[in-house]
Amino acid sequence: MRIRHLAYISLMALALAGCNDTLESASVDLSTVKNKVEQPLPAHIIADMAKKGMDRNSPIMIRIFKEEGVMEILKANQSNRFEVIASYNICAWSGRLGPKVKEGDRQAPEGFYMLTPANLNPNSKYYLAINTGFPNRYDAANGRTGANLMIHGACSSSGCYSMTDQEVLEIYAFARDAFKGGQKAVQLEAFPFRMTAENMVKHRLSPNIEFWKMLKIGYDNFEVTKRPPEVEVCEKKYVFNQEASGPFNAGGKCPVMTTPPALQTALLTHDKQYDADYATALKKYDGMAWYDPTEAERKAVVAKTRKGHDIAYAPTGTALAAGKMMKVADLESMVANQSGQQLARGATVANPTTASVRMATAAPGLAGQQGAQPAGIAVAANVPANVPIPMANPMVNPLAYAVPPVETAETEPAKKPPFWKFWAKSE
């Protein structure tokens, strides 16, 4: 019996070794790349596209989930729904969960950003780079500062999302091909974590929770439509997929807005399930909350795990690996102690996650509340609110929902129908 057991283990080891060899062989040898800007996507990705009914040049979107250190590329299929075509471990990201607030805080951005061909940098000293577009209209309206925050190679970050050179080569190629196909802007959605009911309960005591609840509205819009939401900014907050009576002004009063009926119905159904899941998670984590680790703590877990081996995940680690659920009283004490140590060293507590834990219960079921105003994001009040709003980063993605027009003898381009008509079941 023991001999058969050992034989089984040996066979499994050989199988895993074969998988690893396949993965390694699938990686591009950068020394063979003659033109990184025009390097085609690997054959296995092209094959996956064909299986999923995706055109090589169809639109894409990018989603980032900080906590698990993952970047996903989603691509439009023949039904114009977006699904994951590639997923990458983020090699390095700095700071903690939470938005970027000011220059020098080492935070990587969270929010909704539109990437145009002008955001691509083929001459980056970090192999290749894509500018995230921070600050966008929301960031600027809320006085947030910072510049040159990128998705790039070289696996080194100070406020950026850094990948390996092989990974950024593919990510760049996805964007390049989509732009060649006619996409005007690629939506980048950067989230602290997947915004499930359980995760929202775990993080309900974070000082960032109001900001995250606002992002969750956009997250939910994608979950029910499988299309990147149309994003606007007014009254210094994000709004998604809204019919409006007038123009949007990032710092001004919102126009009268309505949610398309089909979308509103879908969101109400989604909210009902979310509320039930939230109540279940509240019972599960009664008296407990998530401790978001520091960057140093994330790196320490990697160093301990690595032990001289070349491991596959980020050298800055994942917050999932280094964080933990704690009793609320213990969490308050730990976070207060960290803040005190920073202040004693003369450092400013730039990241809201290092401030004392805010004891408030997060209300579930906010997915459809477009008018919900974030109830104060710690730190943002310390920066001027009258920062000029840059116009170089449009938030509306004109091709995000566009179904390829039927070819006719007419040369005039087809007019884009309203979003909700695309989404409706009868389309």
| Superfamily classification of domain 36-340 | L,D-transpeptidase catalytic domain-like (2.40.440.10)
As a whole number of angstroms, the distance between CA 295 and CA 410 comes to: 57
pLDDT in the model for residue 303: 76
**Peptide bond connecting 135 to the previous residue in cis, omega within 30 degrees of 0:** yes
User: What average pLDDT score do residues 284-308 get?
Assistant: 86
**All structural domains of the chain with their residue ranges:** 36-340
pLDDT band at 302 (very low <50, low <70, confident <90, very high): confident
Average pLDDT over residues 88-94: 93
Closest CA to 302 of 272, 322, 279: 322
Average pLDDT over residues 244-250: 96
Q: Please, which pLDDT band fits residue 255 given cuts at 50, 70 and 90?
A: very high
What is the pTM assigned to this prediction? 0.78
Active-site annotation, residues: 152, 160
Give per-residue pLDDT as tens, 390-420: 333 333 333 333 333 333 333 333 444 444 3
Give the pLDDT confidence score for residue 347 in this predicted structure: 55
Nearest-angstrom CA–CA distance, 278 and 287? 15
> By the 8 A CB rule, do 127 and 169 touch?
yes
Percentage of residues of the chain with pLDDT beyond 70: 72
Q: Find the mean pLDDT for residues 175-200.
A: 98
Residue 422 is predicted with a pLDDT of: 43
193-213 average pLDDT score: 97
- The per-residue pLDDT for 159 is 84
Q: What are the two backbone dihedrals, phi and then psi, of residue 258, each rounded to the nearest 5 degrees? A: -135, 145
Strands 237-240 and 231-234: antiparallel
Each residue's pLDDT tens digit, 322-373 = 999 999 999 888 878 877 776 776 655 444 443 434 434 434 444 344 444 3
Residue 377 scores a pLDDT above 90 = no
Task: Name which of 142-151, 162-171, 350-359 the model is least confident about.
Answer: 350-359
- Write out pLDDT tens, residues 221-244: 999 999 999 999 999 999 999 999
